[in-house]
Amino acid sequence: MPTPALKITDLRKVYRSGNVAVDGLSLTVAEGDFFGFLGPNGAGKSTTIHCVTGIAEPSGGTIEIFGVDAVKNYREARRLVGLCTQEFNVDPFATPRQIVDWMGGYFGMGAAERKSRIDYLMERFELGPHEKKAFRELSGGLKRRVVLARALVNDPKLLILDEPTAGVDVELRRVLWRYLREINSDGRTILLTSHYLEEVERLCRNIAIVAKGKIVRQGTKDEIAGAPGGLENAYLAATGAEPDHVAGQ
Amino acid sequence: MQDTTKPLGINWIGLGTIVRREVSRMMRVPIQAFVAPWISALLFIFIFGFIVGGRMPMIGGHKYIQFVLPGVLMLNIVNASFLQSSSAIYFSRFLRFIEETLVSPMSYVEMIAGSLAVVVVRSTVTAIGILVIGIAFGATKIYSIPEFLFWVVAVSAIFGLLGIVIGLWAKSFEQLNMLTVFFITPLSMVGGVFNTIAMLPPWMRWMAYGNPFFYFINGIRHSMLGYSEVSQTLGYGLTITALVVMFLWVLRLYAKGYGLRE
């Protein structure tokens, strides 16, 4: 059996406040998959991603990235991953080129390698005319492109996207979709969280739905979205929310 | 795709990137970083050299301004190093861009070393600037350059590490300044900047010997004037011990994720 890109077993995260954000979550993402990770706000999606990438400390369970333990062998594991965060966690006075360049540096990329990769990403995301402006001066859509370029600078084997198209216009969303499909077909594994069900339906082959820190439904897109009412009804049923026709009564 | 089969050694490029990032941040405020301490040193030279200094007795064969200036230089090193690291860590936590290094394959030692390298650069530039100003105005001299560099680097590293601890702990700007207000400024002022131990009443002298700033100020004064009030070996021993203890403390905080990870 091939090594999965991501294997999470019985993950638990309890914050100091006592809030149980993730409660025994297990998940396997195969190499090369485009995996949708859905759930309502506060379900534990971002916390799970934070535990995988080192932003949060798991309280229990194990995480393996391409077979490498993400806690015990964190340096080896992290060089395999790129993370596009939901929030703009950047130095607001830095320029897009600096932000992407520094990230490449943290990953140990040499100056020449960084330059050619950044030139490519600036062109690909049409950031060239804005690359010397301070991040805080950019529009929301441009900021989103910068954090995506930053996530891609090390050309990761596993790309984790936490609501990458939130607040992005339709045009850019389609550009991003095209690019994500392209890098997925090149062999990168992608884990995507999104509140846009249409986006997940268009891009992902496998889907997991999380609620109250646990996986409540998991399967292929056809298994989950194939039933009457599509992905939206499956999502609402799995998360315990009421579909429109019920809520409207 | 990147080659992830190469074994991970020391990430010198990552370490250098932290230095580049922090130097870039520091150069956004060059007046605060460098010009302010140099102007402060000039004012001390003017007041203690020309106004008050002429009325003060010689101390150990040195003019009063020569006695005071090493302490002024040490105060500036302490403030520069503490401010540099505490504000760097606090702002990167506050704006969450510390997550950039947390998700990267950098070790904790590399992260700490990168932050400290910038602290040492800022303090050394500040110190050399004050030294040059002092020499230009005849207010100081240099007795031993290696000794001078030891005290600048060691003390800036100690306060850089202390700044990291406070930067990790602080939850507000007010807390960020608490250590400066209640610990650094009072202890440095009574740590022998303006007076010798012999000038203190006998019952107060034990307080000076128990004040770490006394050893730092005495050490750098010896490197500039060759004048010391206490054994140099004791000063070196205490300083190196403090440096090692602080480093191990900060390393432990990083490994635990204190103030860094949710």
* Pick from A10-24, B98-112, B151-165, B176-190: least confident: B176-190
Q: With 90 as the cut, is the pLDDT of residue B135 above it? A: yes
Rounded CA gap, A7 and A66, in Å? 8
Distance from CA of B99 to the nearest CA of A (A): 6
Q: With 50 as the cut, is the pLDDT of residue B193 above it? A: yes
Rounded CA gap, A194 and A162, in Å? 7
pLDDT truncated to tens, each residue of chain A (249 aa)? 789 999 999 999 999 899 999 999 999 999 999 999 999 998 999 999 999 999 999 999 999 999 999 999 999 999 999 999 988 999 999 999 999 999 999 999 999 999 999 999 999 999 999 999 999 999 988 999 999 999 999 999 999 999 998 878 888 888 889 999 999 999 999 999 998 898 999 999 999 999 999 999 999 999 988 877 788 888 888 887 765 554 444
Rounded CA gap, B140 and B42, in Å? 12
* Pick from A11-20, B48-57, B146-155: least confident: B48-57
Q: How many CB pairs under 8 A join A and B?
A: 100
SS (H, E, C) B188-249: HHCCCCCCCHHHCCHHHHHHHHCCHHHHHHHHHHHHHHCCCCCCHHHHHHHHHHHHHHHHHH
Task: Return the residue in A66, A106, A143 with the most chain B beta carbons within 10 A, the one to mutate for interface testing.
Answer: A106
Percent of chain B with pLDDT over 90: 72
Q: Which of B96, B97, B103 is closest, CB to CB, to A53?
A: B103
DSSP symbols for chain A:
-PPPSEEEEEEEEE-TTS-EEEEEEEEEE-TT-EEEEE--TTSSHHHHHHHHHTSS--SEEEEEETTEETTTTHHHHHTTEEEE-SS--S-TTS-HHHHHHHHHHHTT--HHHHHHHHHHHHHHTT-GGGTTS-GGGS-HHHHHHHHHHHHHTT--SEEEEESTTTT--HHHHHHHHHHHHHHHHTT-EEEEE-S-HHHHHHH-SEEEEEETTEEEEEEEHHHHHSSTTHHHHHHHHHHTPPPHHHHT-
pLDDT for A171: 86
Rounded CA gap, B128 and B124, in Å? 6
The reply to whether residue A93 touches residue B107, judged by beta carbons under 8 angstroms, is no
Q: A11 or B60: whose pLDDT is higher?
A: A11
Distance from CA of A20 to the nearest CA of B (A): 13
DSSP B95: S
Q: Which of B8, B13, B261 is closest, CB to CB, to A110?
A: B13
Q: With 90 as the cut, is the pLDDT of residue B248 above it? A: yes
The reply to whether residue B106 touches residue A154, judged by beta carbons under 8 angstroms, is no
pLDDT for B2: 58
The reply to whether residue B103 touches residue A81, judged by beta carbons under 8 angstroms, is yes
Cα angle, residue B16 at apex, residues B15 and B21 outer, rounded to 5°: 100
Could you tell me the CA-to-CA distances from A220 to A40, A62, A70, A188 in Å, in that order?
20, 24, 26, 18
The reply to whether residue B101 touches residue A107, judged by beta carbons under 8 angstroms, is no
The answer to whether the CB of A195 falls within 8 A of the CB of A163 is yes
Residue of A nearest to B2 (CA): A155
The reply to whether residue B99 touches residue A89, judged by beta carbons under 8 angstroms, is yes
The reply to whether residue A155 touches residue B105, judged by beta carbons under 8 angstroms, is no
The reply to whether residue A57 touches residue B257, judged by beta carbons under 8 angstroms, is yes
Distance from CA of B261 to the nearest CA of A (A): 5
Q: Which of A75, A87, A105 is closest, CB to CB, to B16?
A: A105
Q: What's the whole-number mean pLDDT along residues B216-231?
A: 94
Task: Return the residue in B3, B100, B111 with the most chain A beta carbons within 10 A, the one to mutate for interface testing.
Answer: B100
Distance from CA of A63 to the nearest CA of B (A): 14
